[in-house]
Amino acid sequence: QKEVEQDPGPLSVPEGAIVSLNCTYSNSAFQYFMWYRQYSRKGPELLMYTYSSGNKEDGRFTAQVDKSSKYISLFIRDSQPSDSATYLCAMKHSGNTPLVFGKGTRLSVIA
């Protein structure tokens, strides 16, 4: 079992839909949780960052972490065609350790 599991999709939704992206993980030592967005032929860029459990909201994006279930989610409200990208979850144990990435979910928002 990989440390981080993420459904690769692809996921296709109409404009304005609510999108839910998820990752599960096996290592209970993970404390830092991130979502990166990667547009086609570009490098990943940090979208959301959460420490430990709880929710974090930034505009149309909400990140949730449930450490008891080893499950993290990213919600996108009022999705736009510009949200079409690959979304990668990432996590790590502590400040000095490298990130472990999921394989990414490819999202298409259709106008």
Partner 1 sequence: DAGVIQSPRHEVTEMGQEVTLRCKPISGHDYLFWYRQTMMRGLELLIYFNNNVPIDDSGMPEDRFSAKMPNASFSTLKIQPSEPRDSAVYFCASRLPSGGGNEQFFGPGTRLTVL
Catalog residues that contact partner 1 under the rule CB under 8 A. Answer: 32, 34, 41-46, 49, 88, 92, 95-96, 98-104
Residues in a beta bridge with 57: 62
Looking at beta carbons only, is 8 or 16 nearer to partner 1? 8
Residue 21 structure tokens: 């992206």
Q: Is residue 2 within 8 Å of 91, Cβ to Cβ?
A: no
- With respect to partner 1, which residue has the nearer C-beta, 44 or 83? 44
Closest approach, Cβ 18 to partner 1, in A, equals 25
List the beta bridge partners of residue 55.
64
Find the shortest distance in angstroms from Cβ 9 to partner 1. 12
Instruction: Establish how many alpha carbons lie within 13 A of residue 110's alpha carbon, considering only the half-sphere containing its beta carbon.
Output: 5
Question: Could you tell me the smallest distance in angstroms from the CB atom of residue 14 to partner 1?
Answer: 26
Residue 24 φ then ψ, to 5°:
-120, 155
Nearer to partner 1, 17 or 92 (CB): 92
